[in-house]
Amino acid sequence: MIFILQQYWWIIVSLLGSLLVFLMFVQGGQSLLFGTAKENEEKTLLVNALGHKWELTFTTLVTFGGAIFASFPLYYSTSFGGAYWLWMAILFLFVIQAVSFEFRSKAGNLLGPRTYETFLFLNGTFGTILLGVAVGMFFSGGSFVMDKSSIADTFQPTISYWTNGWHGLEAIVNPFNLLLGIVVYLAARTLGLMYVMMQIESETLNTKCKSQIKITGPAFVLGFVAFLIALFTMTGYSVNPENGLISPVKYKYLFNMTELIWPLVMLVAGVLLVLSGLGLNIFGKRVGKSSFFLTGGGVVLAVWSLLICAAFNDTAYFVSTVDPQYSLTLYNSSSSEFTLKTMAYASLMVPFVMGYIYYVWRAMTKVKMSTDDLSKPDTHKY
């Protein structure tokens, strides 16, 4: 029973992670503040269009962290507690995003709108890259030691600890992690460009976005293909469920796809949806909502399938680069059966939450935003 619950919660956590990547179109839109939206009017339109959605990204990030903490606490304590400089950098970039949306247009703002626009740009650029780097550690691992018996140690009651002083910053220079970070950034920027064209009524801004997506979109696809090649040719680690022994397996993640089959179907479907959405946007005469949601749905399916393969099929999903036997798996890192079962009942409320999000999303994006909307006296401006 507990094995089914462990798989169930990994599917939930992976879904939250994939939804987070999709919702980072907000960050992708923020990366357009310098270079694309040059005029103050364009910047105000951009910030206010994104301001209606930024809380969804932030909330999903917090929910993702909470779900990991509750279902796989050993990963939470090892990654968030060990690689804390990396996670602190990510948290800082998201905090300045929240502050910027709140204070950018406030009267008596001492720092000025441009300062907060810079903060939003930094969050949109480096926040996406660093989050991709952190997710890449699911595959590349980290420099940690894990010993459950040490919880009884009076002087150092910690199950796992990092073995170097970089505490996660070393992951940034790992080519595999950095590649994934760049791919996440390109995905967010591509979706951000699509969202701007879908939601903002501005001919000049839409023309610039239309031109840029012809570069960003193909770059995203090529980057993702490069990442898949790197992932499917790398050595993964397999765990023996009976004795817990962890051993290296070449092409492990490729085998996971071909042996499980259904994640491969999800991946192929996701790639086809992304290509369809990009094709409609780049070659279509009219830009509608279909291209944004096709591409976004494809991103969700593709990322979901990869995160599932990171731990399913008896795979160590957070490998210790010190000693593979310290690596984390679904078997040794999850909560108790009682906790997983109790949370499974609570997860039945998720469809209602998703329904509410859909209702609010639709209500706030019925019509495109224009400068006339921002000039109304009862309009809230970011």
pLDDT at 270: 97
In three-state secondary structure terms, 156 is coil
Query: Which of 233, 223, 367 is closest to 299 using CA atoms?
Result: 223
pLDDT tens per residue, range 80-106: 888 999 999 999 999 999 899 888 887
Residue 283 has pLDDT above 90, yes or no: no
pLDDT tens per residue, range 298-352: 999 999 999 999 999 999 999 999 999 999 999 999 999 999 999 888 888 878 8
In angstroms, how far is CA 283 from the centroid of its own chain? Answer: 28
CB neighbour class for 116 (10 Å; exposed up to 12, middle 13-18, buried from 19): buried
The verdict on pTM exceeding 0.85 is yes
pLDDT at 1: 78
Asked if 16 and 347 count as a contact pair (C-beta separation under 8 A), the reply is no
Query: Which of 60, 365, 357, 23 is closest to 187 using CA atoms?
Result: 23
Asked if 316 and 329 count as a contact pair (C-beta separation under 8 A), the reply is yes
Q: Which helix (H) or strand (E) holds 248?
A: strand 246-250
Residue 188 identity: A
